[in-house]
Amino acid sequence: MKLAQVLKHGIEALLALCLLGMVVCVFGNVLLRYFWGTGWVVSEELSRLLFVWLVCLSAVLAFGENKHLGFDLVTARLKGPAAAVFRWLTRGLIALALYYLIDGSWSQVLVGLDSRSPVMNTPLAVGAAGTLVMGVCMAVLLVLQAWDDWRGNAPGSMTAGERS
């Protein structure tokens, strides 16, 4: 099995654990409130934190499989060099957006190291780290996709003979 498949299955397992944790927190809290008039204090905070990580890890999977929402009305009709120019322009804009995401997330992680959540008393950096991990993973995937395109292995990429 390729490394990419192992990583994909690992992320999917983490997603399943996040979802399971959210279900246990919310459903368990509902049962406790209904039957015993009490609840878990950490339930809401923990489920929110797990949801942040669930969304961020899911976004990485969607990016790696090219399943993000996109607007390709014009670029889908292009062929040859024009298509390649727009693919690389798109990658450049995505790289710029990822730079800002990573930079902002890093700032939030640094600020969150000194701040604590009110109930669980965990650093707020744990939540902000979700977007940092997401941005870094997407940047790595973007570089790998660009490398595959440059070598002519990506869908829609030009071969070396077409490039020259």
Residues 51, 76, single domain; the answer is no
Residue 108 is assigned to a structural domain of this protein? yes
User: How many domains would you assign to the chain?
Assistant: 2
Residue 65 is assigned to a structural domain of this protein? no
SS3 of residue 137 by DSSP: helix
Amino acid at site 64: G
Residues 21, 98, single domain; the answer is no
Residue 63 is assigned to a structural domain of this protein? no
pLDDT per residue over 44-71, tens digit each? 999 999 999 999 999 999 998 888 877 7
Nearest to 48 by CA among 122, 102, 106: 122
Phi, psi of 5 (to 5 degrees): -70, -40
Full residue range of the structural domain in which residue 127 is found:
70-164
pTM, whole model, 2 decimals? 0.84
Residues 109, 30, single domain; the answer is no
Residues 81, 151, single domain; the answer is yes
Mean pLDDT by 10 residues, the chain (164 residues): 85 95 94 90 93 96 86 80 87 95 97 93 94 96 90 59 42
